[in-house]
Every structure is written in structure tokens, then in C-alpha cells.
Amino acid sequence: MPDDLMEGGMAKGLEALSFDNSYARLPEHWYQRIDIKPLKGAHLASFNPPVAAMLGLDPCELDPNRLVSQINGDVSVPGADPIAMKYTGHQFGFYNPDLGDGRGLLLGEVINDKRERWDIHLKGIGRTAYSRFGDGRAVLRSSIREYLASEAMAGLGIPTTRALCLVASDQFTQRNGMEPCAVLARVTPCHIRFGHFEYFFYSRRYDELKQLADYTIDRYYPECRKADNPYLAFYQAVQSRTASLVALWQCYGFVHGVLNTDNMSVLGETFDYGPYTFMDRYEPGFVANKNDDEGRYAFDRQPEIVLWNMSALAQALVPLVPQKELEQSLVGFMKEFRDQEALRMRARLGFQREEKGDRELVDAFFRIARECQLDINRFLYALTEANDFNGLDLASLCGRCDTDGSLSEWLGHYRERLAREAASDPIRRAQMRSVNPRYVLRNYMAEEVIREAHNGDYKPLNNLLALLRTPAEKNEQLDHYAGTPPDWAGAICLTCSS
């Protein structure tokens, strides 16, 4: 148990929250009401105070034992109404009608003091009607990976789900051998996926499709009600958020791994982390998921796959929006993506205004990053802190030597471009530090803390979690994470179960 939970007078749990479960008031055949199946020997592995505060909880007043009992289902949560949601989706390009919350449930919706509405979702609670052949459990390994990734993305300013806490247990299940089970308490404003809309479209329940669209617009996109066609406006808003999201992934070398439509949030958040990777070296064709034999979800294919997913959502909305208008909107997706990518890359390079040649400079950077196998995040952090760009330690930042001088030439053009900026070096560095992290979550970091957690030591997990919240701030104790990943990191194998 983290030390900071052992102090102070704590008497409260989730009963301190104000629940208002709007999705559970929708037609009952949209979900299954279920009870949590408690794990044996449940205990708190990690608690996330910033997310608790987001919900309206005072972290200093929480009773960790009561929190575990409520997350684990040993005691009920007053006001909660646990449901497993039904949806469908395209997995690796093929429609699957049998999907739904197979190992999770929506515990309920919370309204905080700011009138913000948050979903609390528990992953790993046991079988539901949508578990198919699974046992409904999540293992500690995959739960830690999602927990870390969501906090890392939030630290980078990339839209994402978060997590309130991680509950470990003494219960085991079969995955990669026998592995300990866990429950992750995920928090986000929205658990509605593209696949929710596909479910009603492909089952030809168009009245219910409209009901879902109305619910989603009223809850998340009320501004769309003013449009001539609110459903088209809703689609366009989702498209813009999603284009911005994938642009951020590409700028930070993030590979999602399983971009199925059931893993796509209508809020444009990074959702359902599996075999994700922040690339140690820039490889456009990198495939994070070893189950992805055809490389459908390779890094450089993410924009086109997300476009494909947007077309699947468009197809599902055809009963509500003329197909031609949806197709016209789709045509603009790649431009939105490219514009958002250019916007973030200008910021990462320290440009506060746009010049005509910036796009070419960014494209050249990514081309050289591929040729030199740059660790783009370490390289851009080095640019942030550099006083003399000629003095950069290119040997440690490149996968091979800059034999043809292309990187050195690019640095010359970059220096010339910076010279035309009005901002002073201190201002430039401050702006660049806000978007160029010193620490990025690497797979080897997750593997290290998972190994310790399997041995019952959660301190490395909690230390790493704190580091990822503020990735630009130097941490003397954990500064080895700013260095080159170890050689064994390249041998880490991730699959859908990760």
C-alpha cells in the first residue's frame, strides 16, 4: 500500500460521490445489469490522487480498505448501478456482432462539484453476457500497462482515459501461464464507442440508433443541436477530435496496436490500451502487436486506419445523415490530420509562428528520423535543452552514424529557421519543454515494474506513475529512464493479451 495512504483520518469511500446513471436509464436491452464477482485477497496496488480529485474526492479522507472493498464488489456502492454495455465493431477489418463489456462494467456516472460528469468503469470484474469464451478477468500485467499508459498520455497532453486505482489480488487465471488477476478502475467522461452505433445499424434498429445519437449529442456535443443536421454536426465533431488524436500519436511515436472500431471513443480519446508502444527508434512500419500478422495496425498506417474507422462510423449513421454529406466530410479527414500534426510538430520544434517552409522541414525531420533510426522523443528533448546544435551527441541519439550528413544538414536549416523567431532562447525552451518530455513510457519500464509487482512490490509502479505525470521535470532518482533503452528492450513481445 502506498505510504501516502497510511496517514490522516480516512473514513470515506465511493459513497462520498454523487451518482446519476443516465446510461442505465436507457432501454434495458442495451446492457446487462450484473454484480461484481469479487477476487480473492484483493488489495490496493496503486491509487491515483489527481483522478480522485477530478471526481470530487479528497484523497486524504479516503479509506483505502473501503475503496478496495467497493472496487472489488465485497460491498456495494450507494448510488451505483453496475451495467455491462452491449456494442459490436470491426476487429482487424471484420465485423463482429458478439462484442460487449466482456470483462468490465460501468459502475456508474458521477457528477462532481463542478457539474462535470464522469464514468467509473471497472475492468476485470468477472464474466458478463458478452464474455463469450473468456473468464471476464483482467491480469495484473495488462492492468498495469493500461494504468501507466493512461497517466503517461495525460502527462503528454494527449486525450486519454484515466484510472482511479489498481486493485491487485491473490487470485490467478490462465494467460501467459498462470497470472495474478486485478481490477482497474477506469475514469473518463464517455464509454460510448464507434461500435455502439454499429450495433444498432447492423441489427437494423434505426429508431434506437437515433435514440443513441440523441443521447450522445445531448450529453457530449450539445452545441451540435444548433446545426441544420445535428447528426452530421456530431459526426464532424467526432472526426475533428479523432484527427487531432491520431496526429498526436504520430508526433510522439505512439503505436496503439489494436485500432478496432470497438476501441474508438466518440470523444476522441485514447481508449482500451493493449499492445501499445512508444517506439524506441523511429520505424514507420513498426507493428506493436505480434498477433497482427498483416501489419494492419502498423505505426505509419494509423492515420489511414483511423480514417477507415471513421468511414465505419459514417456507414452506421447513414440512416440519420445523407451518405453524400458523410462522404464529403470524410474527404477532409486527412487534411485535418496533417494540419494538426504540423501544429504540434511546430510546437515541438520551438516555432511559435508558421512559415511557408515549415511543412517541408517537418517532413524532412521524419524522413531523416527513419533513415537514422532516431529516438525522436530523446532527440527533440535534446533540441529543447541545446545551446549549440552543433554540439549535440548525435551518436547516442541515432541508431547509426549520420554517414551522409543529412541530419547535420537538417540541423543547419533548423538553426536558420529558429533565428527568424522573435522569442528569446529562454522563452523557446520553456515552450518546448511543455511538449517535449524528458521521460516517455517505454515497454521496458512497464516490464520492470510488472516484474516487481508480481513479487508483491508496488513501490516501483507508484514511483514510475508519479514520474509520468510530469514527464518534463527531471527526477534525480529515476533519471536513468531518460537514457537509451537497454538492449533487451527490443526483445519484448506484445500481443492482444498485453
Cβ(267)–Cβ(159) below 8 Å? yes
pLDDT for 386-405, tens place per residue? 876 665 665 556 555 555 67
Domain count along the chain: 2
Average pLDDT, the chain: 94
Residue of 128, 106, 239, 256 lying closest to 185 (CA atoms)? 106
pLDDT attached to residue 8: 41
pTM above 0.85, yes or no: yes
Residue of 249, 278, 251, 279 lying closest to 264 (CA atoms)? 249
Last residue of a domain, one of 420, 438, 457: 420
Is 29 within the bounds of a domain? yes
Higher pLDDT, 212 or 382: 212
Give me the mean pLDDT over the 365-382 stretch: 93
Confidence of residue 385 (pLDDT cuts 50, 70, 90): confident
Is 157 within the bounds of a domain? yes
Is 380 within the bounds of a domain? yes
pLDDT for 354-363, tens place per residue? 999 999 999 9
Instruction: Provide the residue range defining the domain that includes 19.
Output: 3-194
What residues contact 493, with CB distance under 8 A and at least 6 apart?
290
How far is 371 from 367, CA to CA, in rounded Å? 6
Is 464 within the bounds of a domain? no
pLDDT attached to residue 455: 97
Higher pLDDT, 233 or 2: 233
pLDDT for 307-329, tens place per residue? 999 999 999 999 999 999 999 99
Is 471 within the bounds of a domain? no
Rg (CA), the chain: 23
**Cell numbers 485535418 correspond to what residue?**
336
Give me the mean pLDDT over the 409-416 stretch: 91
pLDDT above 50: residue 28? yes
Last residue of a domain, one of 364, 389, 420: 420
- CB neighbours (10 Å) of residue 237? 19
pLDDT attached to residue 497: 79
Give me the mean pLDDT over the 382-389 stretch: 80
Least confident of 3-7, 250-254, 302-306: 3-7
Last residue of a domain, one of 366, 389, 420: 420
Residue 7 per-residue DSSP state: S
Q: How far apart are the first and last CA of the chain?
A: 24
Is 463 within the bounds of a domain? no
Give me the mean pLDDT over the 446-456 stretch: 98
- Which set of grid coordinates corresponds to residue 79? 448510488
Confidence of residue 5 (pLDDT cuts 50, 70, 90): very low
How far is 35 from 389, CA to CA, in rounded Å? 59
pLDDT attached to residue 390: 62
**Cell numbers 494538426 correspond to what residue?**
340
How far is 428 from 448, CA to CA, in rounded Å? 35
Catalytic residues: 262
pLDDT above 50: residue 447? yes
Residue 41 per-residue DSSP state: T
pLDDT for 172-208, tens place per residue? 999 999 999 999 999 999 999 999 999 999 999 999 9
Least confident of 11-15, 51-55, 349-353, 490-494: 11-15
Confidence of residue 3 (pLDDT cuts 50, 70, 90): very low
The 10 Å CB-count burial string (b at 16+, else e) for 402-431 is beeeebeebbeebeebbeeeeeeeeebbeb
pLDDT for 230-267, tens place per residue? 999 999 999 999 999 999 999 999 999 999 999 999 99
Is 274 within the bounds of a domain? no
Bridge partners (DSSP) listed for residue 110: 19, 118
Residue of 464, 365, 470, 490 lying closest to 417 (CA atoms)? 365
Is 48 within the bounds of a domain? yes
Cβ(200)–Cβ(92) below 8 Å? no
pLDDT for 99-137, tens place per residue? 999 999 999 999 999 999 999 999 999 999 999 999 999
